Homo-oligomer: A and B are copies of this chain.
Amino acid sequence: MQNKKGDTLFFRTPPSVLGYAAVGGKKESEGPLADGFDVLDTDTTFGEKTWEQSESRMQAICAETALKKSGVTPKELDCLFAGDLENQCTASNYTMRDLPVPFVGLYNACATMAEGLGLAAAFIAGGLAQRTMALASSHFCAAERQYRFPLEYGGKRTPTSQWTATASGGVVLGSVGGPPYVKAVTFGRVIDYGIKDINNMGAAMAPAAAHTLLTFLKDSGRQPEEFDRIFTGDLGAVGSTLLEEICEKEGVKLTNHSDCGLLLYDREQQQVDAGGSGVGCSASVLCSHILPQLKSGKLREVLFIATGALMSPTTFMQKESIPGIAHLVLLGSGK
């Protein structure tokens, strides 16, 4: 049995991050993290005819690049965990047509990258696999027409709304290898504070992020300031403030918190309102910004908490509230 306390799994032999890749579109190529991306397609179509095919192609490029950087072939992968935002997760499904690997399809909205990374690490730590991969993506154009309005409609955005990233992140893990390491994972619970505004998903997800973070701190007996940084994704400006307020009410002051939704874009220059969002936002920030700094040793130990809003356009029209979820992964430059 792994060392399990509360909801958190502490891995006795932390799996190694063998490699990772981040792929993005035009807006991501103009953002502050562009240099950390492996591939940027300023056309955003990735040479495909539909936005859905573009997303699959982007994800395939990401998987291929991450594998290449890891020195791992698809044949050597025991299992691949992937998900996205498209209805029926088709971006991942169609990517997997060309990747002959046992496939576990996931859906936890924008928490999918941490969910997949947690599962991929757990499988290795539990002796269920030697090499695994976590993969996730979102595409602005596919998401806008599915969740809000087709781009051609020219709908007006609210100031609390977030910008769905056109991005993909992929991480290859192995039982043997150098840093960074996945040291622990807390799979989150579904938390619903009754938020019903589909243009304010940061507020819907903040309580879940707080719940998972507070659970991990309790399970580990550690303090927030012990970590170089606590990354959430993607609460945006509104949700980040809310997270800090909820934590403070519980007696936990966050002084080293950054949100992936606020890192990926320059909010003022790039007109993304409350920040970035989408499965690909936290996935690509992880692979372009967080993991490289852990690999170089610039960051020693961080928490990566991806957050998801679990509604659909149907439940929104039915006036249901928006449940949130957040999964946490503890990453370190040492074991």
- Taking a contact as CB atoms closer than 8 A, the residue among B1, B125, B128, B310 that contacts A93 in the complex is B310
Contact with B along A92-125 (1 / 0, CB 8 A): 0110110111111111110000010001001101
Q: How many copies does the complex hold?
A: 2
Tell yes or no: A325 within 8 A of B by CB: yes
User: Which chain B residue has the least Cβ–Cβ distance from A96?
Assistant: B190
Q: Is the CB of A102 within 8 A of B186?
A: yes
Q: Which of A148-156, A226-234, A282-290, A312-320 contacts B (4 or more CB under 8 A)?
A: A312-320
Q: How large is the interface on A (under 10, 10 to 19, 20 to 34, 35 or more residues)?
A: 35 or more
Tell yes or no: A126 within 8 A of B by CB: yes
- Taking a contact as CB atoms closer than 8 A, the residue among B52, B96, B107 that contacts A318 in the complex is B52
- Taking a contact as CB atoms closer than 8 A, the residue among B4, B50, B106, B311 that contacts A106 in the complex is B106
Q: Which of A17-25, A31-39, A81-89, A164-172 contacts B (4 or more CB under 8 A)?
A: A81-89
Least CB distance from A11 to B in Å reads 9
User: Which chain B residue has the least Cβ–Cβ distance from A119?
Assistant: B104
Least CB distance from A270 to B in Å reads 27
User: Which chain B residue has the least Cβ–Cβ distance from A146?
Assistant: B314
Q: Which 9 A-B pairs have the closest CB atoms?
A: A126-B126, A102-B187, A93-B310, A88-B312, A96-B190, A1-B127, A107-B107, A105-B108, A87-B312
| A interface residues (Cβ-Cβ under 8 A, vs B) | 1-2, 4, 7, 9, 50, 52-53, 78-79, 83, 86-90, 93-94, 96-97, 99-109, 115, 119, 122-123, 125-130, 146, 186-190, 192, 310-315, 318, 320, 323, 325
Name 20 extra pairs, CB < 8 A, besides A7-B102, A86-B312: A2-B127, A4-B128, A53-B320, A79-B187, A87-B87, A88-B311, A89-B107, A90-B312, A90-B315, A93-B325, A94-B310, A103-B187, A105-B108, A105-B115, A105-B310, A105-B325, A106-B106, A106-B107, A122-B128, A125-B126
